[in-house]
């Protein structure tokens, strides 16, 4: 049985806007495509600031997308715990992304009381070929009982 989200995409967006307004500096780039049981999908609208020479999306931009996707899927399932933090992020760049937006499909592998582990697969909207694969571990602060 899949874990049901307790926050909607709109609620997560409101939390991000309130707690992390700097995420939109230079214009909004990250969009929640959807939240589902145990999963979330985010899109990076790749602007010029996200590109590297040759016109491909940069590694740091994809790492940010993965980290944000992990944060979103975790918050959607534990509620508004803004102080959940990344303790590990491991990423493998597999293929050069096509120019354009990148989609990150992220799922929960484990959601415990103190740690959450996610897996994220990224692809450009121009292709279903996976361009990067990442796992992330988050520390969840103690919650009131």
Domain membership flag for residue 144 = no
Residue 131: give its domain's CATH number: 3.10.129.10
Q: How many domains does the chain have?
A: 1
State which residues of the chain have pLDDT below 50: 1
- How many whole angstroms from its chain centre is CA 123? 13
Return the residue matching tokens 């571990």: 137
Span 102-137, pLDDT tens digits: 999 999 999 999 999 999 999 999 898 999 999 999
- Whether 77 contacts 128, CB under 8 Å: no
- pTM beyond 0.85: the answer is yes
Give the domain extent around 83.
Answer: 9-139
Domain membership flag for residue 2 = no
CA distance 28 to 76: 20
**Which residues, at least 6 apart from 83, have a Cβ–Cβ distance to it below 8 Å?**
141
Handedness of CA 88, 95, 39, 64 (dihedral sign): positive
State the pLDDT at residue 93: 96
């Amino acid at each position: 049985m899949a874990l049901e989200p307790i926050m909607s995409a709109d609620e997560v967006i409101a939390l991000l806007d309130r707690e992390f307004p700097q995420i939109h500096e230079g214009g909004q780039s990250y969009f929640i495509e959807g939240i589902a049981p145990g999963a979330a999908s985010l899109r990076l609208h790749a602007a010029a600031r996200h590109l590297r020479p040759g016109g491909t999306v940069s590694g740091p931009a994809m790492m940010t997308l993965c980290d944000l996707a992990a944060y979103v899927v975790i918050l959607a399932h534990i509620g508004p715990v803004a102080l959940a933090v990344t303790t590990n992020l491991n990423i493998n760049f597999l293929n050069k992304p096509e120019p354009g937006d990148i989609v990150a499909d992220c799922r929960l592998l484990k959601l415990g009381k103190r740690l959450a582990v996610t897996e994220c697969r990224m692809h450009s909207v121009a292709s279903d070929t996976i361009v990067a694969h990442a796992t992330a571990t988050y520390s969840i602060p103690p919650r009131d009982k």
